[in-house]
Amino acid sequence: MNEDTSKKLGLVIPLILFVAMIPLFFFAMGEDKEEIPSPLIGKRMPDFLLPSLDGDGIYDRQSILGEPFILNVWGSWCPSCILEHPYLSELNQKGVKIVGLNYKDTEEGAREFLEKLGNPFAVIIVDAKGELGIELGVYGAPESYLLNGNGEILFKRVGVIDERIWKEQMEAIYLKAIENEKSEKGVN
């Protein structure tokens, strides 16, 4: 090898190093950092003792279970919840049970919100101080959990649920939970 070629080879090193880095970045990008796995997935939701918005008594975990459902964390102070609300109503009309967790809100605020936008919730648990929120690891509103009839958390969504999110990420899990529920009942 003469001196010229070896010099030429030296000049190509930066390019090679850089090109080697590209696939690294490409594959690293695929890893979804937004999806912070909740340690609660696969576990039962924490138990609680909280009043409902209707004032019809104190609820605990057992009282909201039975069939697969969505636990939706919302508040009238949260603009994104306004965005999300029509789709929740749509889901409710399709027969999906939704339990509301009114999070760090005022009673009047919550009532006004529901009067204006309708009430898709089977029951609304009031968590004014965010006690259950802490147990669940709520980041902010809106946030939704998909649970089966035994209260086991199957899926967690931070942010608004819309049609795309439901179809792509949640519906299959929900339908499977319904399926399991039916077959269990069949066996019994």
Instruction: Summarize as ranges the residues that interact with other proteins (CB under 8 A).
Output: 4, 7-8, 11-12, 14-15, 18-19, 21-22, 24-34, 77-80, 82-83, 104, 130, 138-140
Residue 47 CB coordination number (10 Å): 11
Separation between Cα atoms, residue 99 and residue 68, nearest integer Å:
10
Q: CB nearer to other proteins: give 29 or 187.
A: 29
C-beta of 7 vs 94, nearer to other proteins: 7
Closest CB to other proteins among residues 34, 56? 34
DSSP-derived 3-state class of residue 155: strand
Q: Are 101 and 133 in contact (CB under 8 A)?
A: yes
What are residue 127's DSSP bridge partners? 103
Q: How far is the CB of 148 from other proteins (least distance, A)?
A: 28
Nearer to other proteins by Cβ, of 143 and 148: the residue is 143
Nearest distance in Å: CB 74, other proteins: 13
66: left (phi over 0), alpha (psi -120 to 50) or beta: left
For the bound state, the minimum distance from the C-beta of residue 114 to other proteins, rounded and expressed in Å, comes to 17
Closer residue to other proteins, CB minimum distance, 27 or 188: 27
Tokens linked to 100: 């509301």
| Shortest spacing between CB 59 and other proteins, in angstroms | 23
Q: How far is the CB of 14 from other proteins (least distance, A)?
A: 5
Indicate the Cα dihedral angle 117, 122, 128, 134, nearest 10°: -120
In this structure, are residues 143 and 81 in contact, taking their beta carbons and an 8 Å threshold?
Answer: no
